[in-house]
Amino acid sequence: MVTLGWALRPALGLFSWGEAVLPVVSSAILIVSWRAAPPPPWMVRGLAVAMVIAAALIAAELLLDFPLRNFFRERVGTFIHNRPVVTLFLLLAPVIALVGFRRRRTLCSVLLLAGVTTILISDSEAAKLGLLAAAGTFALSYAPFARVRLLLTVILLGLIWMQPFFGSTVAKLMPDTVIEATKGGHSRERIELWQAFSDVARRYPVFGTGFASSPHMGNHPVAAKIDSAYRQMLKIGHPHNAFLQVWVELGAVGALLLSLLVLWVLRCLAGAPDKIRRVGLITLMSASAIALVSHGAWQGWWISAVALAAALLTVRPSSSKDAS
């Protein structure tokens, strides 16, 4: 909120701040409520069934050329389901853990199959990257936690603190063959976008340009100083990289706060039961992978999905007769 003092449009920034904070506060209320009175077993099972139905509807729409959206005359486009697909993905592991794969193998198997299938046929390259991160983290999670924690800490903090040079680094290291293979996800345009916003981060390294300034960066005085080769990318609205957006808007102070958040989450997971720890690591790395390549950092739907996943992870199996 302090950085709104030098943001381009502080009134709109305050609105964005409210959009970001509301789901965080809601998640905190859920956590406190569930500690006082754990949710009934049917709640998690109901959520699992609802996710299966949602995944089936999304898959049917994508495979059958949007019969429902055409019927209701809604906006049609394969990209339209990217946000719900990401939301389903982030909730997948926490819900399966709470339902209990051993006790309700059929429901969990159907949910896993429906969720993964929907992700793979969707246009959300971010969700697919998150799926790869989830698989890698799942394999790593069987190693001693101290080593896994150290490795993930190095990876996440390294990603956070390299953001002022992220665009140029990716542009130098990414082979043309990989860019061509991922052109469906607009990889070339994303790299130019990251180069533009990384340049902004280097010019405002300590306090940033102000909270929620990214949507207006094309009109910021700094735009005239950015390389003309990718200056137009500042008008996109946000850098499609939450870590980079933190740097652009909040500077090194924001990067420090984000680093402390990562360390705190890993510390919390250190004291969690093995199953919750494993799912927590998967959720953390999946969310980080998605945040690295897509979506605005402060979008309410995104923070809601992450916050609900975090809240579900606080429901301990021992707190419910059926959620083990």
Please answer whether residues 59 and 101 qualify as being in contact, where contact means their C-beta atoms are separated by less than 8 angstroms: no
DSSP code for 321: S
Cβ atoms 248, 209 nearer than 8 A = yes
**pLDDT tens digit sequence for 189-200:** 899 999 999 999
**Spatial CA neighbour of 283 closest among 296, 300, 268, 299:** 268
- List, for residues 271-310, the tens digit of each pLDDT value: 999 989 999 999 999 999 999 998 899 999 999 999 999 9
Mean predicted lDDT score pLDDT of the chain: 92
pTM over 0.85: yes
Amino acid residing at 125: E
CA 10, distance to chain mean position in Å, is 25
User: pLDDT tens digit string along 99-121?
Assistant: 988 888 999 999 999 999 999 99
* DSSP string of 221-263, one letter each residue: GGGGGS-TTTGGGGGSSS-S-HHHHHHHHHHHHHHHHHHHHHH
What is the distance between the alpha carbons of residues 319 and 324, in angstroms, rounded to a whole number?
9
Q: Is 77's pLDDT higher than 80?
A: no
196 Cβ contact partners less than 8 Å away, ≥ 6 residues apart: 167, 226, 227, 230, 231, 233, 234, 239
Amino acid at 34: W
235 residue type, one letter: K
Which pLDDT band, with edges at 50, 70 and 90, does 72 fall under? confident
